Amino acid sequence: MLAARYSNDGKAVLDLSPVQREALASHLRGLAAGEFPTESRPCPVCDKVHGETLAEKDRYGIPFAVVICPDCGLIRTNPRMTQEAYASFYNSDYRALYSGQERPDDAYFRTIRPRAEIIRDFVGRNGLKIGPGSVVIEVGCGAGGILKIFQETGAHVVGCDLGDEFLAYGRTVGKMDLRRGFLRDLELVGQADLIIYSHVIEHVLDVHEELRTIRRFLKPGGGVYIEVPSVKNLWKPYQGDFLRILQNAHTYHFSLATLTNLLARGGFRLVAGDEATHSLFKIGEGGSIVNDYPAVMRHLKRAELTRHLFPFRKKELKKRLRRLLGRA
């Protein structure tokens, strides 16, 4: 049912700005020219190669294959772009396509601040106090909007990303230590009290190597905060439409359970998490793998059956009823 609806008809489900339309056209031209090669990889949780097809395009109409593993429930892109192809995409069309912004502006930090406050409060509520003398690293930092709020607490902050213009903006305007590259390139920074992956871990290709690197960079008792789009949290952010969560830059599409499975394989235990998904992990025994396939599929099928009702939220429904009753 899902695969039939999400076949590659080349249509986007979003209203795109002129900047986004041009970025999309640029990327499609690159795809047609063979500039973004792909590769097939096994599931990083249960090592199975094949999966059930859920979609053949993303929310922009970009062709790519999305499958779900019946043995663990992890949804992933397979085949996916190679590391070199992703790096090229991130430094060219990614920011313009996904945010509608080719470069950050004066409103950037104000826009990001509410997200940063949620992360600061979440880790604080769950026993990780960040302040003067703390070291905070963010992977995929953009221009450092999230790191800024931790810098204000007196923490030493370091970020890494692949987008040159955003990094340059954060260095000059935000006065932060932002570097081009990956976590593994920050060896001289030392160990961190907190490592942040906000809407980033779903982009990582070799997640097992990334988790090994995180273990090297965490201080004893330190935590890794991971925030991802959740396939069980489709209603408010994605209008109940599974296709809206799919992006060609995402290698994985998680629920809290499948994210916890992945981190458990890397030697991390869940400290706290929700289906939003905000989560905090620390090094430790993570427990056995739980197959989330039945729960994920039930959720997706339920969302697909009821998504056409989504515009009629409670407030809107009350307004419509008042109009029908002549009370508007």
Residue 197: give its domain's CATH number. Answer: 3.40.50.150
- Residues of the chain short of pLDDT 50, as ranges, are 1, 328
Residue 168 pLDDT: 93
- Note the pTM of the prediction, 2 decimals: 0.87
Give CA separation, 279 vs 16, 19, 70, 77, 228, in Å: 31, 33, 24, 22, 9
Residue 328 in any domain: the answer is no
Residue 326 in any domain: the answer is no
Residue 28 in any domain: the answer is yes
Q: What range does the domain containing 233 cover?
A: 2-319
Residue 214 in any domain: the answer is yes
* 199-203 contacts at long range (C-beta below 8 A, 24 or more positions apart): 199/140, 199/227, 199/228, 199/229, 200/139, 200/140, 201/226, 201/228, 201/252, 201/259, 202/228, 202/229, 202/250, 202/251, 202/252, 202/253, 202/254, 203/86, 203/140, 203/249, 203/250, 203/251
H helices present in the chain, as ranges? 2-5, 18-32, 83-89, 95-99, 108-125, 145-151, 164-172, 207-217, 235-238, 256-265, 293-306, 314-324
Residue 230 in any domain: the answer is yes
Residue 327 in any domain: the answer is no
Judge whether 77 and 64 are in contact, CB under 8 Å.
yes
Element (H, E) at 48: none
Residue 324 in any domain: the answer is no
Could you give the number of structural domains in the chain?
1
Residue 5 pLDDT: 53
Residue 235 pLDDT: 82
Residue 274 in any domain: the answer is yes
Residue 1 pLDDT: 45
Residue 320 pLDDT: 58
pLDDT tens per residue across span 296-307: 999 999 888 887
Task: Answer whether the bond into residue 277 is a cis peptide, omega within 30°.
Answer: yes
